[in-house]
Structure 1
């Protein structure tokens, strides 16, 4: 073979090998993309506008936990169509709640060496109004029905309510005056009708009745209590034992809560109950699994709560009257708020 022919064959081989190599790279990238798509899976998600303002029909806004680029972003779906495409807003929250056009978003701030956390007050268009540093890991958040008052709880030490080796800090913020009560443990406690002082008090899980009053959990002496709080007087008054993470119904007549039930495992000790505030009668709900969440009322007859799931958490629903059966509402979701 002449020299020119040998060079032509060599060039052809180089081009062929280059083409095979490029094709292999593209094929591998395509397969990787397919794997990512399969791994992401779950619900369809589309960027768009999420609002906390009333109108446009009842909606649910929540933290979307499905894998992918929009994980942890606030998402919105019609309340009547929870499986609809999720509209995501680009705002990431670990815990979230909203009412009357005010949102509270507890965020992680990722640093070079360590993460920190902050509470961000959002307006109806999810724009930041103000933010406040947090001294621990976010765990609970609530907004008063008027949208004026917000509350949040963080773990100062520990990361679970199941044991006794944890400490929380709960704060209440007035978004009209920007007055921050940064630690409800400074409130005066009235226990069993008498002033009470102890170094081991722990408060968490606020649910607002109105702008001046709320319910919460107080722990002391190895027991938990439902307490009624007065913002102006800065008092906590015990009402009942063995009540954690209360959630007031929209009509203000009942509290959903988690109750420690003897005989259950130490790491999963709770059952969901509803307390009638007029009769003080407790009703166990149909959910038999342990629920470590502050349930949300989707209406006056239905509760929504989180349980562990493939993406970290799923939302479930159960009737508040003790009947019916639990049903899965949304996969890969946490911290819902209902906007109507």
Structure 2
């Protein structure tokens, strides 16, 4: 046989093997999806419509249950969050998500041939995608202001965990009405102890908005310490209010912040406990959750907060009263990044 003939046979064999391998992988994936959907302990997901518009009170979250809708946005009734969840066929896939007043922000991975990139996508009440904005690292936190006008997101641009000190973040704020983007809060002036503060090691993360479309709260890290700051968008300044605050979440009535606080004596990789801070008195209250929570909690109402903890499917959602009383309990399996609409 000629060299050309031998080469043709070799190419044909390689192609046949590639097709067989591809078919095997696809069949195994389909079997796995069917098996995971049939797991008796797994959440049930049906296909339907998911939106952010007015209607009965409900939760929207990133679905972590295995199957064709994993990582897509799903919805359940807020009154029965552990019930059957609904996901849209070919729905929106997000790593982090938040929404308010019919506007959402979805932090997404864009899968490339060699590496992934990330972006923030603004969506409307029907989850139709609008403008896209590049995110310069691994998405971590997302928030939309109560009016829907502003969106904020945080990404790791160095490191991938808040537990240590060797990381850097980038936090952006977007005016969804005008499209004006502040790519980094590090351009804001800092007021600490009544004086302007400057340092090369400044990091911001975990924005939460007030209702006035002017002010926000966030975490500032500098000098190996973290602080709660209140930001003013028109003046582009933040003012330090309180120490040892991470990932703040403002209550619906605007009077309290729930956050994760580093507590001495806890393991280095699980150093946090949930606390509530009264913004008028600056009095702290430890919540009843005794496990380490690495999440930016959301308020389900004026009295309770919801947050994620590791679970069999990746993460589960729990709830606890925000006044330090009661006990935490599991709310939803296989879910993360919840929003109450």
TM-score by length of 2: 0.89
Shift of 1:161: 0.2
Give the whole-Å Cα distance in 1 for the aligned partners of 2:113 and 2:29: 30
Q: How far 1:113 sits from its partner (Å)?
A: 0.7
In structure 2, relative to structure 1, the CA distance for the partners of 1:103 and 1:194 (3 Å cut) is same
TM superposition shift of 1:154: 0.3
Would you say the 8 A contact 2:154–2:205 is kept in 1? yes
How far did residue 32 of structure 1 move?
6.8
Secondary structure in 1 matching 2:92: strand
Query: Match for residue 3 of structure 1?
Result: none
Kept after mapping to 1: 8 A contact 2:36/2:66: no
- Residues 250-276 of structure 1: per-residue CA shift (max 9 Å, x gap): 010100000000000111000000001
8 Å Cα contact 2:145-2:151 kept in structure 1: yes
**What is the CA–CA distance in structure 2 between the aligned matches of 1:72 and 1:284, rounded to whole Å?**
32
For 2:142 and 2:199, the matched residues in 1 are separated by 25
Aligned to 1:74: 73
CA shift for structure 1 position 146: 0.3
Q: How does 1:125-140 map to 2 (within 5 A)?
A: 125-140=126-141
Match status 1:147 vs 2:145: no
Question: Which residue matches 1:5?
Answer: none
Mark the runs of 5 or more structure 1 residues left unpaired by the alignment: 1-27
- The verdict on how the C-alpha distance between 1:71 and 1:192 changes in structure 2, with shifts beyond 3 A counting, is same
- Distance in 2 (alpha carbons) for counterparts of 1:331 and 1:29: 23
Query: Would the aligned equivalents of 2:33 and 2:68 in 1 still touch at CA under 8 Å?
Result: no
Residue aligning to 1:253: 255
Matched residue SS, 1:91: coil
In the TM superposition, residue 185 of structure 1 has moved relative to its aligned partner by 0.8
Tell me what 1:234 maps to: 236
Gaps of 5+ in 2: 1-27
Q: Secondary structure at the match of 1:92?
A: coil
Larger Rg: 1
Asked if structure 1 preserves the Cα contact closer than 8 Å seen for 2:33 and 2:66, the reply is: no
> Contact (CA 8 Å) 2:33, 2:67: kept in 1 or not?
no
Number of residue equivalences = 311
Q: CA deviation at 1:129?
A: 1.5
- Measured in 2, the distance between the counterparts of 1:256 and 1:199 equals 28
Instruction: Tell me by how many angstroms 1:36 deviates.
Output: 4.4
Indicate the residue corresponding to 1:118 in structure 2: 119
Residue in 1 that maps onto 2:174: 173
Native 8 Å contact 1:62 1:336 kept in 2: yes
CA distance in 2, matches of 1:281, 1:30: 53
Trace 1:298-313 onto structure 2 (pairs within 5 A): 298-313=300-315
Please state how far the C-alpha of 1:332 moved relative to its aligned partner: 0.4
1:149-183 per-residue CA deviation (whole Å, 9 max, x = no partner) reads 00000000111000001100000000111100000
Which position in structure 1 is the counterpart of 2:58?
59
Write out per-residue CA displacement over residues 3-27 of structure 1, whole angstroms, 9 at most, x where no aligned residue: xxxxxxxxxxxxxxxxxxxxxxxxx
Task: Confirm or deny that 1:291 pairs with 2:290.
Answer: no
Corresponding residue for residue 50 of structure 1: 50
Distance 2:145 2:195 in 1: 28
Say whether the 8 Å CA contact 2:156–2:169 is kept in structure 1. yes
Distance 2:218 2:206 in 1: 5
In 2, the alpha carbon distance for the partners of 1:283 and 1:29 equals 47
CA deviation after TM superposition for structure 1 residue 212, in Å:
1.0
Corresponding residue number in structure 2 for 1:316: 318
Contact 1:41–1:67 at 8 Å: present in 2 too? no
Quick one: distance in 1 between partners of 2:33 and 2:311?
24
Mapped to 2, the partners of 1:166 and 1:329 lie a distance apart of: 32
Give the C-alpha shift of residue 279 in structure 1: 1.1
The separation in 2 between residues aligned to 1:35 and 1:104, in whole angstroms, is 32
* 1:123 CA displacement: 0.2
Q: Match for residue 282 of structure 1?
A: 284
1:217 and 1:226 in contact (8 A); partners too: yes
